[in-house]
Structure 1
Amino acid sequence: MEPVEAAIEADAVQAALSHRALAVRGPLFGVAAQAEEDDWRWRVVVEVTHGCPQQARDSLNSLLWFRAKDEAKSTEERRALLAAVARLEKERVDELTVLDTRYRVVRAEEYAGLDARGDVEMPRPTDPEPLTPDWSRGAGAQGPRIDAGLVLDPGAPLSPSQAAERLTMRSLVYSGSRFPAPVLADSAHAVETHPDVLLMPTAFLVVERSGVDDTWTPASGLLVTAHDARRTLDFSLVWWGPRHRGLIPFDAEMETDARTLVADSDPPAPELALLVEAADRLRTGHVNQVQAAGTLYQIARSRRLLRWGPDGPEGPRPSDINTHAPEALHPRLDEDGTVHYDTAESDPAP
């Protein structure tokens, strides 16, 4: 084992000893695709971060619509893509084949390690960090996207700790009275139909709590690196948070934030000064916990797994909840590639 691999493995063993309990947050959804050349592998084409199956279907709808608009090489190819879009606008489709590629809405479980006090695991020393942290606003939009280019390969090599975690998580099922009976039944059934699991890459997010006895709640989406989560928290503390609390008007200039106001004021507003102090602490190194305005913020380490069966990754379960119905998301695109923006206005009245 190479020195870097040995260090990562040692971190994993230490984390398993210090964070023996798991908090299962619930399902996340995305879309995976499989072409003929992929063999048994699947490729993630819609990040597995969505809160319900319909959100993943909507993202697939957009993916195929823009492919028809910008990439189709023939009328026949565009027609096939638009036929799939038409189905996604009207049906809760969890799998469809378009131009010899299978697309499937996939379901993952998100979970995190908990220590003896119930605190969520923070980033490990060997988790990737940028050599030069970029704190500039908008840097996240230019960086790598979560699950970008991810290949789901159940036969990929595993480290000893990954193999142990994978074996342990195969038996994961929901339990307890807080889950409705259909959810419990679907969870038990999934272990039979999809007995194996595939561990997805680690992700990071901001969590928060306002009291000692309060539980941690998510304060951001999933991000690729711990630094991405710190930068998100920095933005929340100095830009979004002050606007949300009425400390900065929502119609203020985009460049205006707590830092600029504190720097230009003498004396600065105490509430803004405390937020800036917490945000500045994030920039002093790999800081994973700060407190401001009575709230404790932490960078948390999130893990996800996909259940896997003979035909690949698990899809949505019957008991999974959809927050909205399928609908048209884009203007009408004809098979010649012309976008019709005025369809709704020009349609005759019934």
Structure 2
Amino acid sequence: MGDDWKRQIDRLHEGLVRRDDPTEWVTEADAVDASYRYPHLALRGPVFGLAARNPEPGADWRLLRPAISGTPQEARDSLNSLLWFKAKDDTDDPRRRRELLDAVSVLEHDPVDELTVLGVRYRVIRGDEFARSGPSGLEPPRPTDPPPTDPSWEGRQEAPLRDLEFPLTPDRDDGFMAGAMKLALKGFTYSGPWFPADVRHDSERAVASHPDVALLPVGFGVVERNGRGWLPKGALMPTPHDARRLLFDGMTEFWPLLHKFTDRQRARYAQAAEQFKAAGQADEARVGDTLFRICRIERMVRSGPDGPEPPRPSDQDDYGPTKIHPTMDEDGTIHHGN
């Protein structure tokens, strides 16, 4: 352990002791236990989101859209829509609307990752998504993870992640074990022959250009193990219960339609779903040889002197820029079909 790393760990520990918060001590003890039971990191890969920084001195970069997109272009498209609706709904000033629409036009033609519009800096940001793993597989939720805002199992519920307005500040006090994780991740790079050379090179360069690490709010997802490893099933959720509901709805509604189950398959999945629901806070469900698990998902974003890391040259897009919304004039007139 290097002296600088040890000094930072000591500072984190001193801060935890000074606060003397019983709830925080329980959370930290939970995290320490998880570090022993799930000592390895299983990397899923890059994720992309949208951040902004207001022009006021000392303003932080903050997330405007969750860092969950699979490609940079998805995040660019979210910026396109954000600015178009600002032009439509948030101003009556033709000059301000024109500046917003000019930025939209750029995003319709060029894969740009940063724009300054009306004094606000917008940036497509890049992160990495990972889970902890151990001998029993990927880490399930911890007892101290966030409770649901709605504990029911019925109805359609929107479950937004806690990413909105989250500050991308590496020196944020996230707790002792989270601070230790950030220090450990500073030198993280993609390594191994299964990663292309340009991916490894960009990863190594990012350690120097964006040496600090910010951890995003933890999320929860459904993963499937069927003999080929763990595979993600569905979106990232803000609480374990939301992920459990996602699994229940998948087994009873979505997957039977998507995969055109037979009546026998429908019955097997429905029975397994009801058993899972009846258990209350179960983290696993099994159908035949297939195991589903509620998994704890973590994300990191690198940061440098100028803020969070943008996409890397080796990051891949499935498609390019395109026109998403109708043409709008400075006076707010929308020309449908154009």
Work out whether the TM-score is over 0.5.
yes
CA–CA distance in structure 1, aligned partners of residues 102 and 149 of structure 2: 46
SS in 1 for 2:234: coil
CA contact (8 A) 1:146 1:223 kept: no
1:1-350 to 2 correspondences below 5 Å: 1-37=20-56, 39-117=58-136, 119-130=137-148, 133-139=151-157, 141=158, 143-211=159-227, 214-247=228-261, 270-283=264-277, 284-343=279-338
CA–CA distance in structure 2, aligned partners of residues 147 and 124 of structure 1: 20
Show CA shifts across 1:224-254 (max 9, x none): 1111111111111001121123247xxxxxx
CA–CA distance in structure 1, aligned partners of residues 258 and 308 of structure 2: 40
Question: Alpha-carbon deviation of 1:131?
Answer: 6.9
SS in 2 for 1:37: coil
CA–CA distance in structure 1, aligned partners of residues 148 and 230 of structure 2: 27
What is the CA RMSD across the aligned residues, in angstroms? Answer: 1.5
Question: Alpha-carbon deviation of 1:270?
Answer: 4.2
Q: 1:210 is matched by which residue type in structure 2?
A: N
Q: 2:280 is matched by which residue type in structure 1?
A: G
Gaps of 5+ in 1: 249-268, 344-350
Question: Alpha-carbon deviation of 1:149?
Answer: 2.6
Task: Indicate the residue corresponding to 2:11 in structure 1.
Answer: none
SS in 2 for 1:287: coil
Identity of aligned residues (%): 44
CA–CA distance in structure 2, aligned partners of residues 191 and 334 of structure 1: 44
Tell which deviates more after alignment, 288-297 or 104-113.
Answer: 288-297
Structure 1 segments (4+ residues) deviating >3 Å: 143-146
Q: 1:51 is matched by which residue type in structure 2?
A: G
Show CA shifts across 1:57-114 (max 9, x none): 0011011111111112311111111011000000011111000000011000111101
SS in 2 for 1:36: coil
Question: Alpha-carbon deviation of 1:39?
Answer: 1.8
Q: 2:37 is matched by which residue type in structure 1?
A: S
SS in 1 for 2:220: strand
Number of positions where the alignment pairs a residue of Structure 1 with one of Structure 2? 318
Q: Scaled by the length of structure 1, what TM-score is found?
A: 0.87
CA–CA distance in structure 2, aligned partners of residues 38 and 225 of structure 1: 35
CA–CA distance in structure 1, aligned partners of residues 324 and 223 of structure 2: 32
Gaps of 5+ in 2: 1-19
Question: Alpha-carbon deviation of 1:286?
Answer: 1.1
Q: Scaled by the length of structure 2, what TM-score is found?
A: 0.90
Q: 1:97 is matched by which residue type in structure 2?
A: T
CA–CA distance in structure 2, aligned partners of residues 244 and 5 of structure 1: 43
